[in-house]
Chains A and B, each alone.
Chain A
């Protein structure tokens, strides 16, 4: 059974810092991995999607990498801003049983001015 872990559970940084959020998964037979942002009481916003054949994806200040063989993905946020404060979730879609996403429990990020 696939298990997705995100460390740390919470992170507090001053504005301007570069930071890395980690996501690890136990079964490397994934189809893709998706990073989401969730603001308190709100829905999930898709940030980046990495297919299993890709190594990384970039969008603005965000860069996500994938190392399928080691079961790891990282989300790099450059020059963090208070508006980046949110919970970040990673989710994997399996090659078999691809009908659902398996989610990690998230990293709660607070960026202080």
Chain B
């Protein structure tokens, strides 16, 4: 089944404890991206990647890191999480070939930082 997967789905952590949220897609998509969703603010892009080893900042990159060493994986790293990073996180991917750019989303990771 074609899909985007994220792990973990739920995470409660404490301020300052480094964490990684994994994202993987099995559709051979070149493009991958991370969004966060907050009440009243909608979905905002954190980082995106156009292909392996090519990443760039979105609208709200502060406090986050990403890497793209393999085409299928795009982990989101919080080096020193803070309470304002409590949010619902979504990974997404889309193919660049073909020109439709239809975006597919993972199931989400609910992060709570205390």
Question: Which residues 30-67 of A sit at the B interface, judged by CB distance below 8 A?
Answer: 31-32, 34, 36, 41-46, 49, 51
Asked whether A46 and B104 contact (CB < 8 A) given A99-B56, A100-B58, A106-B42, the answer is: yes
Task: Decide yes or no whether B74 CB sits under 8 A from chain A.
Answer: no
Q: Using a Cβ–Cβ cut-off of 8 Å, how many residues does chain B contribute to the interface with A?
A: 24
Main SS at interface, chain A = strand
Asked whether A41 and B48 contact (CB < 8 A) given A46-B103, A49-B102, A104-B42, the answer is: no
The 0/1 profile, CB within 8 Å of A marked 1, for residues 92-114 of chain B is 00000000111111111010000
Residues of B within 8 A of A28 (CB): none
Task: For residue A92, give the distance in angstroms from its CB to the closest CB of chain B.
Answer: 11
Whole-angstrom CA separation of A45 from B33 in the bound complex: 16
The 0/1 profile, CB within 8 Å of A marked 1, for residues 21-53 of chain B is 000000000010100000011110100101000
Whole-angstrom CA separation of A46 from B94 in the bound complex: 12
Whole-angstrom CA separation of A31 from B98 in the bound complex: 13
Residues of B within 8 A of A44 (CB): 90, 105
Task: Decide yes or no whether A93 CB sits under 8 A from chain B.
Answer: yes
Question: Quick check: B100 and A51 within 8 Å, CB to CB?
Answer: yes
Task: Decide yes or no whether A101 CB sits under 8 A from chain B.
Answer: yes
B43, B102, B104: the one within 8 Å of A103 (CB): B43
Question: Quick check: B100 and A41 within 8 Å, CB to CB?
Answer: no
Question: Quick check: B106 and A43 within 8 Å, CB to CB?
Answer: yes
Quick one: closest B residue to A100, CB to CB? B45
Residues on A close to B: CB < 8 A? 31-32, 34, 36, 41-46, 49, 51, 89, 91, 93, 98-101, 103-106
